[in-house]
């Protein structure tokens, strides 16, 4: 769908289709980051440390980007049997790696500056699902992170040259004259809707006036909520590049590890409270 829109825009403007697709992906991703930044800035209003928190957020973004490359680099190196400059310099991004790297960098940065990390982490995590929803729209526009083949009425076809088309072509699933992929689940839109639902739940939890959330609880809710969402939605994904091992994907393993970590933290807090 994103490729078709880009094709129409290309015919109207004379610009290259690939440039338009990548521009749409980039702009929606940047819009998502802007939303998270604006939301965190709003929640930190009145905090005298807000300026330092926001500068730390901006400074940590390159580390988040680097973290988003870690999983693809490891996967490609394992497939190739060696690590090369080409593997490091090219390839895709994985949200989970970027998000965890960013949150870890924020926590370490706050500790280095003598700041409590929870006001910043809670503010970022509160708006992360909304920003991520925009990012998933960018994925839909670019055609990456596509879903499994389906005969459902919800199935969509991506045009020739898209990641779904190339995967299906390589697997011999398409006739020689095919101009689009097989119908696939719009998994990017599923996750965007799931992110919006998670955002709504976090807003409800954060806005309850009868009892406020203790420091760190918003971060915990986000990590657990997104882990459940991602684990379930991965069953509708069809892009093999994300890595599937023993029936579940890399992101599902990460989600299970995060849920286990959240459970350990909650049990430890409960034991301390007693």
Cβ atoms 140, 5 nearer than 8 A: no
pLDDT of 104 reads: 95
Sign of the Cα torsion 158, 162, 167, 172 reads positive
Question: How far apart are the C-alpha atoms of 226 and 222, rounded to whole Å?
Answer: 6
Q: How high is the pLDDT of residue 271?
A: 78
Over the stretch 213-262, which tens digit does the pLDDT of each residue have?
Answer: 788 999 999 999 999 999 999 999 999 888 888 999 999 999 999 999 99
Whether residue 25 is predicted with pLDDT greater than 80 in this model: the reply is no
pLDDT digits (tens, 9 = 90+) for 98-116: 999 999 999 999 999 999 9
Q: Which residue has the higher pLDDT, 173 or 24?
A: 173
Residue of 148 and 80 predicted with greater confidence: 148
Segment 140-164 mean pLDDT: 91
pLDDT level of residue 22 (50, 70, 90 thresholds): low
Rounded percentage of the chain residues whose pLDDT exceeds 70: 88
The predicted model scores a pTM of 0.87
> Does pLDDT of 82 surpass 50?
yes
Question: Which tokens in the block code for residue 8?
Answer: 């129409």
């Amino acid at each position: 769908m994103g490729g078709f829109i880009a094709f129409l825009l290309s015919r109207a403007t004379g610009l290259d289709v690939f440039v338009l697709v990548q521009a749409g992906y980039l702009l929606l991703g940047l819009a998502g980051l802007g939303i998270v930044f604006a939301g965190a800035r709003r929640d930190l209003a009145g905090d005298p440390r807000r300026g330092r928190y926001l500068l730390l957020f901006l400074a940590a973004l390159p580390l988040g980007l680097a973290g988003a490359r870690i999983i693809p680099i490891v996967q490609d190196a394992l497939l190739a049997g060696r690590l090369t400059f080409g593997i490091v310099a090219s390839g895709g991004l994985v949200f989970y790696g970027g998000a965890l790297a960013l949150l870890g960098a924020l926590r370490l940065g706050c500790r280095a500056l003598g700041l409590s990390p929870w006001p910043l982490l809670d503010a970022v995590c509160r708006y992360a699902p909304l920003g991520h929803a925009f990012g998933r729209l960018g994925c839909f526009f670019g055609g990456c992170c596509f879903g499994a083949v389906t005969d459902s009425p919800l199935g969509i076809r991506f045009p020739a040259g898209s990641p779904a088309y190339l995967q299906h072509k390589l697997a011999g699933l398409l006739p020689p004259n095919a101009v689009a992929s097989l119908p696939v689940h719009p998994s990017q839109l599923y996750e965007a809707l799931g992110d919006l639902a998670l955002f709504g739940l976090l807003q409800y939890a954060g806005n309850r006036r009868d009892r406020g959330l203790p420091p760190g609880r918003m971060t915990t809710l986000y990590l657990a909520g997104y882990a459940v969402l991602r684990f379930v939605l991965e069953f509708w994904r069809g892009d093999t590049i994300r890595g599937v091992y023993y029936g579940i994907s890399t992101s599902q393993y990460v989600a299970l590890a995060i849920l286990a970590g959240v459970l350990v933290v909650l049990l430890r807090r409960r034991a301390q409270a007693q």
